[in-house]
C-alpha cells in the first residue's frame, strides 16, 4: 500500500531523565515537501532531526518514512542510519580534509558498491548541479566555506536518498552567501524530489524555503502549516511573537466590566465566551500608529530605534519592559528615550486566552 506521506511522526518523545526534550510530537509531511523545524535554541528541533537520521533513539512514539517504520520508542525497534535511505547535511560540513572534493562525494557511493564508471558519472553530475565541477580535484582546505557547504550537499544527494535532512547548514555563512545558498538548496530540493527536513532558528529561512513549517517551543509543536497560515493566523501567543518581520505585538489585558483594558486604556469589547481568565490581544506592527501627542486608546512609550526596510521603517518603542514594534512610512523625529504615544486600533487582530484557564473551565462545564 502506497502513502501520500514522505514522513509520518506519531507521539514522538525523547526523554533525558526527567527532562522531555521532545514531548509527544505528531507530524505528517507529504512526499516531496520541504518541512522546516523552526524554533529557538533548546526547543527540540535538532533532537527530532537526529531521531529522523537514526543518530538518537526515541523514548516513545514512532517514525515512518513512507510505509516503512524506521523507529519505535515503544518497542525499541530501530533501523540503522545507513539503511534509512536518508541523507544528512551537518552544520559543520563534516568533510574529510585528506580527501579531494571528488573523493568526498564519491565515498558514500563506493560504500554502497557503485561501480567506478557509475561513481565517476554521478560525482560529476552532482558537482555540476551545484556549480562546483571545477573544484573536483581540490581539497576542503583549498576552498571557501560556501564551496565546502556545496560539497557537503553534493555528497549527501549523490546516492539519491528519498529523505534529505539539514541541520542548520547555513549558520556558518555570511548574510549574502546565506541568501544565495537558500536559493541553491530550494533548487536542489526541486530537482531531487526528496522529502526534506530543515532545522533552523532563522524565520527568514523558514518563510522563504518551506512548503510546511513546524514552529516548536519546549519540545512541542506550537503550530504546523504553510508559511502563510502561520503569518496570517498564528495559533498561539508564541507563534505570533516568533513569526513575522517584525513579529506581532501581544499585549496582556484585564477584563473590566466587559471591556479589555491595558493600563486603564479601553481596548474594546471583551470576548467572554472563554470566561474572564487571562487574555492577550495581538496587534500587527502595521496596525499600530505613533502619535506625538496623547489621544484616545493611546499608550505613552519611549522611543528606542528606527530601522529602514524596503522603503518603510520598523520603529521599536518600550513600554516599561515590553518591547513593541510599529511599521511606519516615515520614521519619527525622536531620540533614544523620547516620549511618544502608541495608538491602538479599535479591534485587535487576534485574541488569545490562557489555555490552562480555558481547559479548566471546560472541564467544570
Who's near 119: CB < 8 A, 6+ residues apart?
Answer: 106, 109, 110
CA distance 122 to 120: 6
What cell was used for 260? Answer: 479589555
How much is the pLDDT for 12?
A: 98
Taking CA 158 as the corner, what is the angle to CA 127 and CA 163, rounded to the nearest 5 degrees?
A: 130
CA distance 250 to 241: 7
- Would you say how long the chain is, in residues? 365
Q: Give the Cβ contact number of residue 134 at 10 Å.
A: 11
Any bridge partners for residue 199, and if so which? Answer: 37, 167
How much is the pLDDT for 364?
A: 36
Strands 34-38 and 212-217: parallel
- The dihedral of CA 136, 139, 144, 149: what is its sign? positive
- β strands within the chain, DSSP E: 5-16, 19-30, 34-38, 60-65, 68-72, 86-89, 163-167, 195-200, 212-217, 220-225, 249-256, 259-262, 265-269, 279-283, 289-291, 298-309, 312-319, 322-328, 339-343, 350-353
How much is the pLDDT for 358?
A: 38
Who's near 51: CB < 8 A, 6+ residues apart?
Answer: 12, 14, 22, 57, 58, 63, 71
pLDDT under 50 in the chain at which residues?
Answer: 1-3, 356-365
Write down all domains in the chain, each with its CATH number in brackets.
5-241 (3.40.50.300), 245-364 (2.40.50.140)
How much is the pLDDT for 273?
A: 66
Q: What is the pTM of this model?
A: 0.88
- The dihedral of CA 46, 47, 53, 56: what is its sign? positive
**Is the Cβ–Cβ distance between 221 and 214 less than 8 Å?**
yes
How much is the pLDDT for 360?
A: 36
CA distance 209 to 197: 11
How much is the pLDDT for 277?
A: 65
CA distance 37 to 167: 10
Nearest C-alpha neighbor of 168 from the set 158, 154, 182, 155:
182
How much is the pLDDT for 348?
A: 94
CA distance 176 to 129: 20
End-to-end CA separation in angstroms for the chain: 44
Q: Give the Cβ contact number of residue 66 at 10 Å.
A: 18
How much is the pLDDT for 174?
A: 84
Amino acid at each position: 500500500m502506497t502513502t501520500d506521506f514522505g514522513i509520518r511522526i506519531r507521539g514522538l518523545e525523547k526523554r533525558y531523565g526527567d527532562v522531555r526534550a521532545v514531548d509527544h510530537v505528531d507530524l505528517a509531511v507529504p512526499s516531496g515537501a520541504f518541512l522546516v523545524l523552526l524554533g529557538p535554541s533548546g526547543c527540540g528541533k535538532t533532537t527530532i532531526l537526529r531521531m529522523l537520521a537514526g543518530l538518537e533513539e526515541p523514548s516513545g512514539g514512532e517514525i515512518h518514512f513512507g510505509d516503512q517504520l524506521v523507529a519505535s520508542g515503544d518497542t525499541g525497534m530501530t533501523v540503522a542510519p545507513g539503511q534509512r535511505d536518508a541523507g544528512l547535511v551537518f552544520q559543520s560540513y563534516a568533510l574529510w580534509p585528506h580527501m579531494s572534493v571528488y573523493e568526498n562525494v564519491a565515498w558514500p557511493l563506493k560504500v554502497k558498491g557503485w561501480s567506478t564508471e557509475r561513481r565517476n558519472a554521478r560525482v560529476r553530475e552532482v558537482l555540476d548541479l551545484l556549480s562546483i565541477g571545477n573544484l573536483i580535484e581540490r581539497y576542503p582546505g583549498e576552498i571557501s566555506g560556501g564551496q565546502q557547504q556545496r560539497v557537503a550537499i553534493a555528497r549527501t544527494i549523490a546516492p539519491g536518498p528519498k529523505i534529505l535532512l539539514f541541520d542548520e547548514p547555513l549558520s556558518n555563512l555570511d548574510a549574502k552567501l546565506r541568501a544565495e545558498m537558500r536559493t541553491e538548496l530550494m533548487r536542489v530540493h526541486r530537482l531531487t524530489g526528496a522529502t526534506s527536513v530543515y532545522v533552523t532558528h532563522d524565520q527568514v529561512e523558514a518563510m522563504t524555503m518551506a512548503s510546511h513549517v513546524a514552529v516548536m517551543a519546549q519540545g512541542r509543536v506550537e503550530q504546523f502549516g504553510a508559511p502563510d497560515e502561520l503569518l496570517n493566523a498564528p495559533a498561539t501567543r508564541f507563534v505570533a511573537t516568533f513569526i513575522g518581520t517584525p513579529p506581532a505585538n501581544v499585549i496582556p489585558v484585564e477584563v473590566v466590566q466587559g471591556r479589555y483594558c491595558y493600563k486603564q486604556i479601553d481596548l474594546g469589547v471583551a470576548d467572554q465566551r472563554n470566561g474572564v481568565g487571562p487574555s492577550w490581544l495581538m496587534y500587527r506592527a502595521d496596525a499600530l500608529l505613533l502619535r506625538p501627542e496623547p489621544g484616545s486608546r493611546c499608550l505613552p512609550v519611549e522611543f528606542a530605534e528606527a530601522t529602514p526596510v524596503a522603503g518603510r521603517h520598523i520603529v521599536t518603542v518600550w513600554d516599561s519592559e515590553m518591547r513593541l514594534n510599529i511599521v511606519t512610512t516615515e520614521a519619527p523625529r525622536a531620540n533614544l528615550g523620547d516620549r511618544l504615544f502608541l495608538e491602538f486600533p479599535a479591534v485587535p487582530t487576534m485574541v488569545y486566552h490562557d489555555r490552562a484557564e480555558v481547559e479548566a473551565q471546560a472541564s467544570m462545564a
